[in-house]
Structure 1
């Protein structure tokens, strides 16, 4: 009996697999929810400088006549770049000449202004309180918001490293991996446990070490030493696909967290935008699964990354006042990013042999966490140009999508257990590609 037959007997898809999936999905959902809360906990409401004539009742009482709030605003706060009240400057002295109906920009262009030395007044009609209003993360301190998000994501990386080891206590390792590492006793106990949970009591009682050894006779990977990171980076064939996948994982997280944690920057209603992204995400992942089964792995992986990048780049040329178009492009781009995540999770596991698979996946996920940490920091470039962060996000996604075309196709291929298995697959594929023309030639004769 082969090892694959043994896996089918203990239960290829049963109660154990369902419970394991739930155990993984629940914490992922909680983490994702916490991440997306940043759009509301760190929202930046409209704001202006605190001004005595506007916000000090005693100063208003000293005025000789009654003036409307609009008039007091006009003489206290200069216009900003969009002709709305400036968010970060105020007049040092009230500019009463601006109350003249014939006043022009020349009437105040020479007037002295100053920063918001007395603080800010925030519009609390939508958000009564955020970390921005609590700590005044605006104007000269606006860079602290993406830095705080980056620090939070760095904490996620540290937590994954620390609690990843702790999770081994309750989340069993792959039986195939344990057997490949020569840990036969632990592999046998995992298989027995799976059979018990799946209700295969007869299989559980019949599953002994002799049966396991008999099933593993045709498994060439049994007893191999665990592969190191150096194996990934130095072995021909593994090195190229490792660096390509590192770029793809980095690009996904870099783009997603850079955009998804600051939906306000994309324009439009962030509540509606958040709901649309949530509504599109699941269908996008289902479409990705369908394409993976029909088109293979490489094209959906590359196509989803390129589509995401093109949608982001398109928003650099769409006027800011076209909120519906910008929102549609943002939703489509983030949906494509979610599809890319589905593709890369499946593709990565199929590209590496069992003996090095977990090392490769761990290395790629560290690259993704690094991209997530850097993603919010790129928004600091918006100080120089609002389009610059989008150009960086979109360009990175398109580049990684094009590079992904260099990866080999893995659809319908068995999972390799050893590095030699992987190399044999490449040789067979090359031989099949070179042999095909000769077969076609012989059929013409």
Structure 2
């Protein structure tokens, strides 16, 4: 009897799996907050130099606020107040209607701080720590530090969860995000903010990879596609919830607190989750694996079937020396031909998917909506892409879905280069997006489906003994792509279409690489590297459809 047969005998996709997966996925929903949280906590409000009180006597004391701005703050070519400069002395004569040329007046950088518009946000890290003008680069530094934490966490917790267990490390990552993320809301300095955002990023990436692995290892083959894609649905829902939460909480500290404090609750109830029985068997802990399987059977209403399972059946199911399991390392992802092919192809697929997806996300601000609506749209367009992906993965398989979604997104991105931005311009003013914007939205939908398939594929191709290490490698490649995307976007200052050409070509190349991965739609999860080397998933373990 194989492990999948054991899962089927205790109820298949029953009440246990539904409840267990929901408890795992609720934190995943809130984890998606953190990648986009700085869109709101680090939003840059309108600002100008703070007017020096001691110079107010140079003009009429009864000046209105608008007149004070004219007297003390120069204007730019667009007719708006400059953000980083002020007049060296009060220019009272500007109020004279006959004065028209004021561009030659002497100015200087802000000396007394800045005044910020609080109409949209009461407080952000920008306004609290004056991260503007010559300090504005620190906003991107903060986000890069967070993403560095995500990269480190992907590799570290991938290794730790393979060594010490999925459940134990999931509990720890919930606590790490709860403590580090909540402390961010109370820290007094920018440097402390960056340090604890780094720790929070490590925890969020750990939650992502461990949750996906724990879901796939408990679910039987027939429900694996839907269960894996529910991961993507919860993440997309989190992005939309963030838009509403940020709309209601305009102070960055309260928003940060609201996004992290629930993880204390997740930490408490995560003790109720069951460790992967598959991992326990591979570690030689057959008694714990048997106990967990019997609990699952009881919750599913299959108590009698659960009592029939014995330790001897588990030992026959996956015979493995636990000391050998502990000896695996990241090098085993590349040591043998089969693993090397999987790892290299998936690294390219993961990198290019996130690289192109987050690059297109840079264009969302051109829609002209408020930042809250933009975030809502960004999350909403993920849903249809992931839904179509779920259907095609079940009907045609993972490999075809992965390849087609990436190649199609690449063609749409490159095709947008040849579409003049003036096409349908008369309709754009009526609220209908231009053709090139429509193509970008379709490309985002394809990439959303590619992301969902990528996560499913990564979890199914790697064997249980190194699955967390493999997922960690995949997530590290993906997050590196998301970090590189903004830098490539800057090449548009040299050649306007060059960034989109790079994004499109990267997607198409990754689509071709996906064709070299073997199909997993009708196969069980591999448990050992030896199984992978036998054409990744041996034909003898194909499931009954």
Q: TM-score range by the shorter chain?
A: 0.7 to 0.9
**Aligned counterpart, 2:212:** none
C-alpha contact (below 8 Å) 2:93/2:99 kept by paired residues = no
Change (3 A) 1:400 1:243: farther
When residues 419 and 159 of structure 1 are mapped into structure 2, their CA distance, relative to the original with a 3 A threshold, is: closer
Unpaired runs of at least 5, structure 2: 169-270, 423-427, 540-545
Residue 127 (structure 1) aligned to one of 118, 121, 127? 121
- Matches of 2:447 and 2:389, distance apart in 1: 11
* Secondary structure class of the residue paired with 1:237: helix
Structure 2 CA distance for aligned equivalents of residues 88 and 123 of structure 1: 15
Partner of 1:80: 76
Is 1:414 the counterpart of 2:523 in the alignment?
yes
Q: Which of 284, 289, 293 does residue 187 from structure 1 map onto?
A: 289
Q: Structure 2 vs 1, CA of residues 427 and 122 (structure 1 numbering), >3 Å: closer, same or farther?
A: closer
Of 133, 147, 153, which aligns to 2:141? 147
Which of 77, 91, 112 is equivalent to 2:87? 91
Q: Given the superposition, is the C-alpha separation of residues 138 and 267 from structure 1 closer, same or farther in structure 2, using an over 3 Å criterion?
A: farther
Correspondence 1:135-284 to 2 at 5 A:
135-156=129-150, 161=156, 168-169=167-168, 170=271, 171-180=273-282, 182-213=284-315, 216=317, 222-223=320-321, 225-226=324-325, 227-253=328-354, 264=365, 267-284=368-385
Deviation at 1:2?
4.5
Q: Residue 347 in 1 paired to residue 457 in 2?
A: yes
State the 1:206 CA deviation. 1.6
Match of 2:509 among 398, 402, 419: 402
TM-score, normalising length: structure 1:
0.75
User: Is contact 1:182-1:223 (8 Å) kept?
Assistant: yes
1:365 aligns to 2:472 (yes or no):
no
Change (3 A) 1:27 1:412: closer
SS at match of 1:234: coil
Question: TM-score w.r.t. structure 2 length?
Answer: 0.63
Does 2:391 correspond to 1:290? yes
Provide the secondary structure at the position in 2 that maps to 1:243: helix
CA distance in structure 1 between the partners assigned to 2:17 and 2:538 by the alignment: 33
Aligned twin of 1:437: none
Q: What residue is the counterpart of 1:61 in the other structure? A: 60
Contact 1:305 1:400 (C-alpha < 8 Å) held by counterparts: yes
1:20-39 mapped onto 2 (5 Å cutoff): 20-39=20-39
Write the distance in 2 (CA, Å) between the matches of 1:167 and 1:411: 23
> How many Å apart are 1:228 and its aligned residue?
2.6
Q: 1-side partners of 2:23 and 2:138: how far apart?
A: 35
2:461/2:520 contact within 8 Å kept: no
Q: Does the CA contact (< 8 Å) of 1:280 and 1:335 recur in 2?
A: yes
5+ residue gaps, structure 1, are 430-445
Q: 1:239 to 1:109 in 2, by over 3 A?
A: same
The equivalent of 2:18 in structure 1 is 18
- After superposing the two structures, state which structure 1 stretch, 263-272 or 83-92, moved more: 263-272
The question of whether the paired residues in 1 share the 8 Å contact of 2:406 and 2:450 is answered with yes
User: 2: CA distance between counterparts of 1:174 and 1:24?
Assistant: 13
Mean CA deviation greater in 224-233 or 127-136: 224-233
> How many residue pairs get matched?
415
Superposed CA deviations along residues 372-402 of structure 1, whole A, max 9, x for unmatched, are: 5x359749x85x9679999658835741442
CA spacing shift, 1:304–1:122, aligned 2, 3 Å: farther
Query: Against the structure 1 CA distance between its residues 387 and 57, is the aligned structure 2 distance closer, same or farther, given a 3 Å change threshold?
Result: farther
